[in-house]
A and B are shown apart, each in its own frame.
Chain A
Amino acid sequence: MGKLYNFKRSLWVFHASGGSCNGCDIEIIAALTPRYDAERFGIKLVGSPRHADVLLVTGAIPRDFADKLRRIYEQMPDPKAVVVVGNCGTTGGVFYDSYNLVGPIDEIIPVDVYVPGCPPRPEAIIDGVVKAWLKIEKLEKQLEGKE
C-alpha cells in the first residue's frame, strides 16, 4: 500500500445504505468505536454528501434508490471516491439477479474500492477507506496541477 503524503485535511465520509440488512452498517459504526477509533485519524462520518470526500455504500440497491444514489454521488464535491462495503453492494450477494434490484453498485456510479464480506470486519472497512484516501490524494494533486 502507498503512503499518504500531503493530504491537508481530515477525511469526511458519507454513508448511504441501500437495501442493506444493517450488518455492514453496524460494522461501519464499529470502526468508530473506541476499539478501532478511526476518528483519531480524522476519518469521520458526516450527515451530508456535500461535505464528504468518500461515499460508503452498503447493501444491494433497490430500483427506487438508484436515482437517489446517483444524485448523492453527484452532490459530492471533487475530488471524491466511492467505497462499496459488503457482498450485496459488490455483486448483489444473496440477492443476485433479484427482480427488484438494480446494480451491482458499479453499474450505477463509479466505484473505486470494494470491501467484500458479509459483513466485512471493521479492519477491512478502515483499510478500504484508507485506499480511497490515497486515491483522493492523487486526484487532488491532479486538480492542483490543472489550476
Chain B
Amino acid sequence: MNFTLLSPSGFWDPVLWLIFLILFGIIGYIIYSRGNPSYKPNTEQVKPYLSGNVEPSKEKIMVRAGDIYWGFITALDEYYVALKRMHTGDLRDYILWYLGIGAIILFILVGGV
C-alpha cells in the first residue's frame, strides 16, 4: 500500500514522518538522560545568577511595549493628563461629548439660521 502523496511542490509520507519522529525522540531522550541527575528543581539552582542578589519580579524588570513611547508620553505629559481626564470610561459621558460636539458642528454649518 502506497502512503506517499505526491504534489508539484514535493511529497508527504506519513510512514517516513513517523520514522523521523521516533528517531528524533530517541536522540532527545539520549541527550536528556545524560543531564545532571542531582539537579534540584524549584531551588536556587534554577534561578539566574545576579551577583548573588535576589531575582526581582518579572513585572519589575520587564520592558513593556508601552515603554518604547516613554519619551513621547513624558514630553506630552500635560496633554495626556487632560486626555485621560476626559476618558472616564463612562459611556454616558461619551454620548454627552458626541451630542455636544455634534451640536457645535451643526451650529457652525447651519449657523443657527
Q: Do A and B come from one complex?
A: yes
Could you tell me which A residues sit within 8 Å of B by CB distance? 16, 48-50, 65, 67-69, 71-72, 74-79, 143, 147
Secondary structure class of chain B's binding surface, majority of residues = loop
- Cβ contact within 8 Å between A68 and B52: yes
List of A residues within 8 angstroms of B45 by Cβ: 50, 74-77
* 8 A Cβ contacts from B28-65 to A: 36-40, 43-45, 47, 49, 51-54
21 example contacts (A-B, Cβ-Cβ < 8 A) are as follows A48-B49, A49-B49, A50-B49, A65-B52, A67-B52, A68-B51, A68-B52, A71-B44, A71-B52, A71-B54, A72-B49, A74-B44, A74-B45, A75-B44, A75-B45, A75-B47, A77-B38, A77-B45, A78-B36, A78-B38, A78-B40
List of B residues within 8 angstroms of A49 by Cβ: 49
Could you tell me which B residues sit within 8 Å of A by CB distance? 36-40, 43-45, 47, 49, 51-54
A92 to B25, CA, bound (A): 54
- Cβ contact within 8 Å between B52 and A77: no
Closest A residue to B37 by CB, please name it: A147
Closest B residue to A142 by CB, please name it: B38
A67 to B39, CA, bound (A): 22
B45 to chain A minimum Cβ distance, whole angstroms, is 6
List of A residues within 8 angstroms of B52 by Cβ: 16, 65, 67-69, 71-72
| In the A-B complex, the 4 residue pairs with the closest CB atoms | A68-B52, A74-B44, A78-B38, A48-B49
Closest A residue to B54 by CB, please name it: A71
- Choose from A16, A48, A68, A77 the contact partner of B36 (Cβ within 8 Å): A77
List of B residues within 8 angstroms of A79 by Cβ: 38
A135 to chain B minimum Cβ distance, whole angstroms, is 15
A132 to B49, CA, bound (A): 23
Known contacts A72-B52, A74-B44; 11 additional CB pairs below 8 A are: A16-B52, A48-B49, A50-B49, A65-B52, A67-B52, A68-B53, A71-B53, A77-B38, A77-B39, A78-B36, A78-B38
B44 to chain A minimum Cβ distance, whole angstroms, is 4
